[in-house]
């Protein structure tokens, strides 16, 4: 029994687990103050996975900005993994439908789909809006974007579909892969 207590204390000292039970507001404030004095910040993850940070700016306000920017490497890493997974899903769906990844129209479709899922926004309602947004990014006119996208679609397995229908079809497949839709739907 004594060995178990020693192992728990070692884990606590290494920073793996720390728990504080507080019974009053004063005790809570003392614990928070102690943690802020030790590391300069506190981070808490809520039920939805959102990290909340409290940064101590009482002693040296000039260091606060540096602390804030250095706090999020884990979040950036998690975001990087999510982006990589979305990237993989979008590219695999494009390949599945036989899109040639060297065509500029395919690159434009990839960019629209990827940005839509990364930013959590629905696809624009019209293809013209899509051509405007992506065209600016690549320095292409609306007409050139439209031609390139139509050409890429004509060389794919979706060749009999209009551009918007093909985009919706790919979007549905990507949503299933990402778990946004029921696979049997």
Alpha carbon distances (Å) from 155 to 91, 95, 99, 105, 166: 16, 12, 7, 11, 12
pLDDT of amino acid 3: 42
Give the pLDDT score at 8.
Answer: 38
The answer to whether position 62 is within a domain reads: yes
Domain annotation covers residue 183: no
pLDDT of residue 122: 81
Task: In whole angstroms, give the CA distance from residue 148 to residue 154.
Answer: 10
**127: CB partners within 8 A, 6+ apart:** 146, 149, 163, 164, 167
Taking Cα atoms as reference points, which of 157, 104, 112 lies closest to residue 132?
A: 112
Q: In tens digits, what is the pLDDT along the chain, a chain of 185 residues? A: 444 433 333 444 444 556 667 788 888 788 788 877 776 777 777 776 676 777 777 766 555 555 555 555 554 555 667 888 888 889 999 999 999 988 999 999 999 999 888 888 888 778 888 888 888 888 889 899 999 999 999 999 999 999 999 999 999 898 888 877 655 55
| Distance, CA of 106 to CA of 112 (rounded, Å) | 10
Please report whether residue 101 resides in a domain: yes
Residue 8 inside a domain? The answer is yes
pTM over 0.85: no
Residue 111 contacts residue 137 (beta carbons within 8 Å): yes
Sign of the CA dihedral 173, 179, 182, 183?
positive
Regarding whether 64 and 44 lie in a shared domain, the answer is yes
Tokens for 90, please give them.
């979008």
Give me the pLDDT at residue 181, please: 64
> Are 63 and 103 contained in the same domain?
no
End-to-end CA distance of the chain: 55
Residue 184 placed within a domain: no
Same domain, 107 and 34: no
Question: At which of 24, 42, 71 does a domain end?
Answer: 71
123 and 49 share one domain: no
**Count of domains observed in the chain:** 2
Do 82 and 173 have their domain in common? yes
Q: Domain residues for 116? A: 77-178
DSSP string, 29-59: HHHHHHHHHHHSEEEEE-TTS-EEEEE--SS
Residue 48 is assigned to a structural domain of this protein: yes
Question: 37, 71, 105: which is the final residue of a domain?
Answer: 71
The predicted structure's pLDDT at residue 78: 57
Residue at which a domain ends, from 26, 43, 71: 71
Bridge pairing between strands 51-55 and 41-45: antiparallel
Domain check: are 81 and 156 in the same one? yes
For residue 139, the domain's CATH number is: 1.10.10
């Amino acid at each position: 029994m004594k060995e178990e207590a020693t192992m728990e204390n070692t884990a606590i000292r290494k920073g793996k687990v720390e728990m504080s039970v507080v019974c009053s507001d004063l005790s809570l404030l003392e614990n928070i103050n102690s943690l802020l004095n030790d590391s300069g910040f506190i981070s808490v993850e809520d039920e939805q996975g959102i990290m909340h940070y409290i940064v101590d700016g009482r002693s040296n306000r000039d260091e606060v900005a540096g602390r804030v920017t250095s706090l999020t490497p884990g979040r950036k890493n998690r975001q990087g993994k999510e982006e990589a997974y979305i990237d993989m899903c979008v590219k695999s769906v494009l390949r599945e439908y036989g899109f040639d990844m060297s065509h500029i129209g395919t690159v434009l479709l990839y960019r629209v789909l990827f940005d839509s899922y990364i930013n959590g926004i629905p696809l624009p309602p019209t293809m013209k809006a899509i051509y405007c947004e992506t065209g600016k990014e690549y320095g292409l006119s609306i007409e050139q974007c439209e031609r390139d996208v139509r050409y890429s679609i004509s060389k794919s397995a979706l060749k009999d579909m209009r551009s918007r229908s093909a985009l919706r079809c790919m979007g549905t497949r990507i949503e299933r892969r990402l778990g946004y839709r029921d696979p049997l739907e």
